[in-house]
Amino acid sequence: MVSQVSRVTDKLKILSQLNIREAILLPILSLLDRVSPNSGFLKEMVFRDLYVKISTLSFVNANGFVSERIGNKNVITLVKRPENNNLKVCLRRRTSDFHVFRQIFMLEQYKPLVQAINEGNCREIRYIIDAGANIGCTAIYFEKCYPGSIIVCIEPDGCNYKALLGNVEMNNLACYIKPIKAALWSDNSNLEIVRDFGDGREWARSVKPTNRRDATVVSGITIADILLKYSLPYIDILKIDIEGAEKHIFKNEDMVEKFLPFVRYLAMEVHEEAISRDVIRKLLERFNFLHFVTGELLIGINRDCQERRRNTGG
């Protein structure tokens, strides 16, 4: 009886987070579950956004988190911390934001990286660069794992950047998370947003060089620029998910030599339509990195930095 009441309560919580159209479609998803246990592909293709939203809200309920619907957004409180300084993330409805949340917090895409850091007996993570920050889910995940670390977030898309700023402000993290509206690149070229990469949605924004000079153009920024701008002595974690632009960052040894020796851990999504994963692997090996693949990520561990930190007690 108690479990039945709990299930009904959870369904009511989910319904309260949906709009009218979504609430009407919800019984169809339930019917598909009953009629065909193998309907996952159909749900994923036809009702993809709603399917991900429902699974996200179910995850929120199951873990004791809180979701609040505010206009065309859902604000999910992930971790309750002292002095009401909770970790939250605001997701825009009818965008890819729920997919990003699912990837980062439900599937825990970066958990293998955290485990590798723990296994390396790392005392402290201080400096993180999040290239391709989107709305800041990964930065908030890292803040949850490594509170007090400095996280420089690079995001070129204007709408994503605005959402990123909102998430930083909502969490009172401006002292720690440093957003930059730019695109990680090999130089300071003018770049324009490409909206036909991948599925073309908000989590798949790429850039390309342009001669235009209007308000939609962003500047390229190099890792060396970031190190200088924020006086970072090294990078504990370099996360790169920049929709193919990594081919310009890893295009040759001379380019890589400018930043990779200063990186302790690399977490990178390699888009093989732009550059071969084998090319990246060879460069990592050239600069004495261990590496392994987990899901969509290529994880690199700098042997030289590990040894240097052990010797200096860092």
Nearest 5°: phi and psi at 31? -65, -40
Q: Are residues 42 and 116 in the same domain?
A: no
Give the pLDDT band (50/70/90) at residue 11.
confident
**Cβ(208)–Cβ(194) below 8 Å:** yes
Q: Are residues 121 and 75 in the same domain?
A: no
Q: Are residues 87 and 28 in the same domain?
A: yes
Q: Are residues 143 and 180 in the same domain?
A: yes
Q: Residue 64 has what pLDDT?
A: 85
Considering 72, 88, 104, which residue would you say is the last residue of a domain?
104
Nearest 5°: phi and psi at 222? -95, 165
**151-164: pLDDT as tens digits:** 999 999 999 999 99
Beta strands in 199-306, from DSSP E residues, in sequence order: 206-209, 218-221, 235-240, 263-269, 289-294, 297-302
- Alpha-carbon gap, residue 241 to 295, rounded angstroms: 13
Among the residue ranges 61-65, 106-110, 143-147, 164-168, the one predicted with the least confidence is 61-65
Q: Are residues 191 and 53 in the same domain?
A: no
Whole-number Cα distances in Å, 152 to 100, 122, 162, 184, 185: 19, 20, 15, 12, 15
- Say how many residues make up the chain: 314
Arithmetic mean of pLDDT over the chain? 86
Q: Are residues 92 and 131 in the same domain?
A: no
For range 212-223, the mean pLDDT: 88
Q: Residue 15 has what pLDDT?
A: 75
Q: Are residues 151 and 208 in the same domain?
A: yes
Q: Are residues 170 and 257 in the same domain?
A: yes
Q: Are residues 282 and 168 in the same domain?
A: yes
- In this structure, the strands spanning 263-269 and 235-240 are parallel
Among the residue ranges 52-61, 119-128, 129-138, the one predicted with the least confidence is 119-128
Considering 88, 104, 120, which residue would you say is the last residue of a domain?
104
Q: Are residues 78 and 173 in the same domain?
A: no
More confident residue, 243 or 313: 243
- Domain assignment of residue 225, given as a range: 108-312
pLDDT of 313 over the 90 cut: no
Q: Are residues 279 and 158 in the same domain?
A: yes
How many domains does the structure of the chain reveal?
2
Q: Residue 36 has what pLDDT?
A: 57
Q: Are residues 79 and 177 in the same domain?
A: no
The model carries a pTM of 0.87
Domain at 117, CATH number: 3.40.50.150
Q: Which has the closest alpha carbon to 135: 197, 68, 90, 195? A: 90
Considering 63, 87, 104, which residue would you say is the last residue of a domain?
104
**Cβ(76)–Cβ(60) below 8 Å:** yes
